[in-house]
Amino acid sequence: MAHYPKMRPEEDNDGWTRWLAPHERKFKMACCDCGLVHDMEFRLETVIDAEGAVQLQVQFRVRRNGRATGQIRRWQNIKVRCIEEESV
């Protein structure tokens, strides 16, 4: 089983964390409050703008990781309760 170290994000006065640079193309991001885990993939894409200049654009995609979410919620003893919608 993967080990997920508990991190306390350093925040500035506006509530933002410090800038992070993922070490690999694949990256797992977990919510500190509810433990929901997403797999993230990053890539650099070369694009040509309207003036014909070549630029690099950072692109990413995200998907929910149910197995890692369950593992981290069990490890951190996070209980999530669903709130059902009220009938109108």
- pTM (2 decimals)? 0.62
Percent of the chain with pLDDT over 70: 80
Burial class (CB in 10 A: 0-12, 13-18, 19+), 63: exposed
Please report, in angstroms and rounded to a whole number, the separation of the first and last CA atoms in the chain: 44
Domain boundaries, the chain: 26-75
Give the closest residue to 33 by CA, choosing from 59, 67, 65, 69.
69
pLDDT tens-digit map of 29-42: 888 788 899 999 88
Cβ 26 vs Cβ 61: under 8 Å? no
pLDDT tens-digit map of 39-81: 998 888 999 999 999 999 988 899 999 999 999 899 888 888 7
How many H helices and E strands in the chain?
A: 1, 3
